[in-house]
């Protein structure tokens, strides 16, 4: 176990991972307002949308319009999720608005088939081509591995399998690999053991942890990852999101809960927590329902 880092990097994924699970379509104007507000909280990395088939995820059918209308400071790296080369083609039509692309696949064959109707090998082949083209266009690439800590269909996913996929993604051009606890199956001991293996196995790759709070262990898993040397995380304001494939896969860890905990432990994020809470309250208002974020309910700790 290593000492905690002095600072970490957080990618806010709510506008993509969070919004895509909402049953009612959020008006484009509201999305733009929320993204612009999030971009002014001190967040330095922001995943704003995904170029997926509109009949599969209607919520993100306005991906291009959202990108063209947002007003994000230059200090904020804008990323989009692309499922394949067709998604990259659509994203490149808005190249000037994008800094990074995130390509995804699952560690589990069953989840990958249900999610993208491809085998793991087929997804890897597609991401190799996608990353090569994206890097040629000057875009940074993140490879995202879903079900990295367990699959709702297959159960245990061997860490060696996950790391082998990660190494393939790195060889394909991913400068960053995100490990997703897609349905909240991870536990802290598992997380610590995994990242203690991942660090030496992937010495030149940014390792990012993406936890869901499905079973209430999200922040405990963050601490375990921190203790194993992880300095990059993904989260969603308001605890929005979840995997659309299996039932019961609830939201990501809330960015405001993550930031609150990290700041209390002396780990800096560069994020203004009150400004972030204002964004979470705004999306809660627009959705017309209470959200799962604890800090949104209790407020930040005031030691005065």
Q: How many residues does the chain have?
A: 304
Rg from Cα positions in the chain: 18
Which token pair is 9? 């990097």
Instruction: Give the C-alpha separation, 26 to 14, whole Å.
Output: 13
Residue keyed to tokens 């947002």: 70
In degrees and rounded to multiples of 5, residue 52 shows phi and psi of: -120, 170
CB atoms closer than 10 angstroms to residue 69: 16
Q: Specify whether the CB–CB gap between 143 and 179 falls below 8 A.
A: no
Instruction: Give the C-alpha separation, 145 to 288, whole Å.
Output: 32
Looking at beta carbons, which pairs linking 124-129 to residues 24 or more positions away fall under 8 Å? 124/165, 124/168, 124/169, 124/172, 126/84, 126/85, 127/103, 127/169, 127/172, 127/174, 128/172, 128/173, 129/85
Q: Specify whether the CB–CB gap between 141 and 171 falls below 8 A.
A: no
Instruction: Give the C-alpha separation, 192 to 171, whole Å.
Output: 24
Instruction: Give the C-alpha separation, 237 to 255, whole Å.
Output: 5
* 151 catalytic residue (yes or no): no
Which token pair is 195? 């990242």
Among the listed residues 245, 254, 247, the one whose alpha carbon sits nearest the alpha carbon of residue 284? 254
80, containing H or E segment: strand 77-82
Catalytic residue numbers, as ranges: 243
């Amino acid at each position: 176990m290593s000492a905690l880092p002095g600072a970490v990097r957080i990618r806010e994924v709510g506008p993509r991972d969070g919004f895509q699970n909402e049953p009612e379509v959020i008006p484009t104007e509201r999305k733009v307002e929320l993204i612009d507000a999030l971009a002014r909280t001190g967040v330095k990395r922001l995943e704003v949308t995904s170029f997926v088939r509109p009949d599969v995820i209607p919520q993100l059918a306005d991906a291009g319009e959202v990108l063209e209308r947002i007003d994000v400071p230059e200090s904020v790296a804008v990323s989009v999720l692309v499922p394949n080369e067709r998604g990259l083609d659509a994203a490149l039509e808005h190249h000037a608005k994008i800094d990074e692309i995130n390509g995804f696949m699952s560690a589990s064959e069953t989840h990958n088939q249900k999610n993208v109707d491809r085998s793991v090998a087929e997804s890897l082949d597609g991401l190799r081509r996608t990353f090569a083209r994206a890097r040629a266009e000057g875009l940074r690439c993140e490879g995202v591995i879903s079900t990295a800590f367990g699959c709702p269909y297959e159960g245990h996913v061997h860490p060696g399998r996950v790391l082998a996929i990660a190494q393939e993604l790195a060889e394909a051009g991913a400068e960053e690999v995100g490990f997703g606890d897609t349905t909240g199956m991870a536990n802290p001991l598992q997380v610590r053991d995994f990242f203690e293996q991942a660090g030496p196995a992937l010495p030149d790759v940014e390792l990012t942890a993406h936890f869901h709070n499905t079973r209430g262990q999200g922040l405990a898993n963050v601490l375990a990852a921190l203790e194993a040397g992880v300095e990059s995380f993904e989260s969603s304001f308001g605890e929005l999101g979840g995997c659309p494939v299996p039932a019961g896969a609830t939201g990501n860890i809330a960015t405001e809960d993550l930031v609150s905990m990290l700041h209390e432990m002396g780990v800096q994020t560069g994020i203004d927590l009150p400004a972030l809470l204002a964004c979470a309250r705004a999306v809660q208002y627009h959705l017309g329902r209470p959200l799962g974020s604890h800090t949104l309910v209790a407020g930040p700790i005031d030691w005065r």
